[in-house]
Structure 1
């Protein structure tokens, strides 16, 4: 090590011994820490030669044989020659501008006000099997909805209940019900129902 020159102020002459000790301490060599042996995290050359797949196959769990189920005959209308049940629904091709707004009768208007029904709320006319006389009635109903003779209407068939549901707005429900009775010459009574209230009108 070369000579070291220590410069100090005259005012620090009384602390010369302390300055020399600090200087010698600062010039001492730093301790060297022994580094640990490097252990690679990747496989060594010997490990690369090991087989990737295990020598024995994985154990398999034996499954019990499937149970034989006997299909019970389903009660309902008989379908001949494997015919498939078809669903039926009808909607208007396009919405035509309504010429006039129908007026509600006083009894039905009281019912609407009493239950707090909205005029554009959907209601449902239920046509039972006793109301429809033949398949021609369904064809006529189909034509009436497609020609928009029944405003805001759509209909579908419920085969399990053997009913036809005709949906419309509350505002046009009386008009639709009377049209169904007259145009289709329905027998018996038809009922108008709304969700959570049930039947609110009978024609």
Structure 2
């Protein structure tokens, strides 16, 4: 077999087995592993679980560098040391003020309770049967891997439903970081790689 034919055969085997040659960029150390999907899926699940819980300190820490500032802007994170604000006092309204200065107040107003604005969610897991796949870069996002995650969601008084989310994971200095997030629609589920399809049309 001639050298060009041998080279073509090696490329064909790599394509069929899903293996890729080692990358030379030091920033792509995370992708040098033969199977990077486990680490990428772990980071993706940690990010989404934190985001669903409103823990944006953790979620933003797992966001890629180009998206980090936007994450902190869109989701204000709590300060490390809470402010020592005094306890709020119940509001009282003057009902009657006498000439000698005596004042009769109303009863303290009850402090209103703010309802929970998040649904009850189940554990975040990779969607079984739908593997993590490589995705090409775009004008807004670097190339990486598309991870499809699933979890249950239930609002009070409503039936439980299954939610699927696609995340683009990119390597940064040997670590995986979330660069894009998109909801997976029923239409996306009709194609072989739903996560890649959702990210291709995703707004973020």
Query: Normalising by the residue count of structure 2, what TM-score does the alignment of the two structures yield?
Result: 0.22
Give the structure with higher Rg (CA). 1
Structure with the higher strand share, 1 or 2: 2
